[in-house]
Amino acid sequence: MTGHPTLLSAAGIGKRFGGVQALTGVDFTIRHGEIYGLIGPNGAGKTTLFNVLTGIYEPDDGSFTFDGQPLVGLKPHEVAARGIARTFQNIRLFANLSAVENVMVGRHVRTKAGVWGAIARDRRTRREEEGIERRAHELLEYVGVASRANDLAKNLPYGFQRRLEIARALATDPKLLALDEPAAGMNATETASLEALLHSIRRDGTTILLIEHDMKLVMGVCDRVLVLDYGKRIAEGPAAEVQKDPAVISAYLGGEVALNLKGA
């Protein structure tokens, strides 16, 4: 954090799948410490943008600059090491590992013990293991899953699984936490507590990139919002302004409805 206001900037990101242009010239910047929303109708390219950012796909055009360094041609695990952690739209926990072990896996990228350490169990490895376990329990406490620390991830209730995925991502000590529809399928109470969690993550210094369909949540937590439609950026700015943007309304409601609204 060198006082540089920009954490992540994307310049002209494009991605094609065969004949389908999933993303076209997407530009945006995320500042340190903000919660940045990414919205758009289904199929707008939000998750593709996530996958391009986190190294699952390589962009066909454009580039990302993260924390002052270009993110080019990095593998997903290298992106994680640079400080971007993500969750998945359809939960991807390690189903047959316990909750705490899921989070412990997240510490992998910040720890070093190798095969010899594992076999010899020298003092340094033991200390590292203790640190991993302690941090994992802290994070479970933080997201509110501590009571089920030793349950297998697959046996946790849905809301807990979503939170556990966030804890696992936080375990990699990310500078940017990228959440792909964390509130999907949650009821109002669960969404409210998720909102509180997002606020406290930001308060503790982690920048958040949030894909979300729940507009109430987006409007409640996001400082700024990027709107995608058919792979293109159609609006960007503070949430309240974007909400009134005619292009956004037309993307969500269909062109005619938007025109009628204007006429009315």
Partner 1 sequence: MHPILDLRHRPAGALVGLALVAVALLVLPFVLTGIGTFWVRITNLAILFCLLALGLNIVVGFAGLLDLGYIAFYAVGAYVYALLASPHFDIHLPFWIILPIGAAVACLFGALLGAPTLKLRGDYLAIVTLGFGEIIRIFMNNLSQPVNITNGPQGISLIDPFRIGSFDFSKTQTIAGLTFTGPMKYYYLLLLVLIVVIAINLRLQDSRIGRAWEAIREDEVAARAMGINTRNMKLLAFAMGASFGGISGGMFSAIQGFISPESFILVESIMVLSMVVLGGMGNVWGVVIGAVLLSFVPEILRYTVEPAQKAIFGRMILDPEVIRMLLFGLALVLMMLFRPAGILPSALRKRELETRRNGR
Per CB under 8 A, residues contacting partner 1 are: 54, 56, 75-77, 80-81, 85-86, 88, 92-98, 101, 104-111, 113-115, 117-119, 121, 125, 128-129, 132, 149-152, 168-169, 171-172
Q: Which CA distances in Å does 182 have to 7, 80, 116, 214, 251?
A: 22, 19, 38, 10, 22
Of 113 and 235, which CB lies nearer to partner 1 in the complex structure? 113
Q: Which two tokens stand for residue 222?
A: 């996001």
CB 107 within 8 A of CB 135: yes
CB of 140 vs partner 1, minimal distance in Å? 12
> CB of 48: closest distance to partner 1 in angstroms?
15
Of 152 and 247, the one with the shorter C-beta distance to partner 1 is: 152
Q: Which is nearer to partner 1, 4 or 121 (CB)?
A: 121
Q: Cβ 142 to partner 1, closest distance in Å?
A: 17
Task: Determine which helix (DSSP H) or strand (DSSP E) holds 177, and give its type and residue range.
Answer: strand 176-180
- Quote the least distance from Cβ 146 to partner 1, whole Å: 11
Contact 159, 186 (CB under 8 A): yes
187, 199 Cβ separation under 8 angstroms: no
Torsion of CA 251, 254, 260, 263, to 10 degrees: 20
Minimum CB distance to partner 1 smaller for 93 or for 227: 93
Q: How many residues does the chain have?
A: 264
Contact by Cβ (8 Å): 212, 182: yes
Nearer to partner 1 by C-beta: 108 or 202? 108
Shortest Å distance, C-beta 109 to partner 1 = 3
Nearer to partner 1, 81 or 258 (CB): 81
Query: C-beta of 236: minimal distance to partner 1 in Å?
Result: 26
Q: Cβ(160)–Cβ(148) under 8 Å? A: yes
